[in-house]
Amino acid sequence: MSKHDTLQLDGQRLADAWAKTLLTVLNGSDRAEVKKDEAEANALRIHIKTAGHSFYSFDFKCSYVDSREVKVELIDVERDGVSVDERTDIIQTMVDDYVRHIHECAQQLHALTTS
């Protein structure tokens, strides 16, 4: 792999593939939306709504470092439409779980991103 290994893929096609694949790795009743980042060609915006009665939603930015590696950043956590402190133990546990799912999704899409 060269130092110039960059992601060469249409952003909308990538977002669509992510949306489909992410649903297979999340908890069955969680919902996710994936959109291409309008400001960065190598990034996606991921919005996840939790299942159940907690009404939490999580916003992540997922950037491709290269065609195989992603960097995931938490942007915001809301409960019932209001931003909440993401430093609590329960939210940190949920964030860690979703970050793991996002990395798992990226691994499943290696065939698409490295072709």
pLDDT (tens, 9 = 90+) of the chain, 115 residues, equals: 344 465 566 788 999 999 999 999 998 889 999 999 999 988 999 999 997 778 899 999 999 998 888 999 999 999 998 999 999 999 999 999 999 999 999 999 988 887 6
Report residue 62 as tokens. 């997922």
d(CA 86, CA 76): 8
**Does pTM surpass 0.85?**
yes
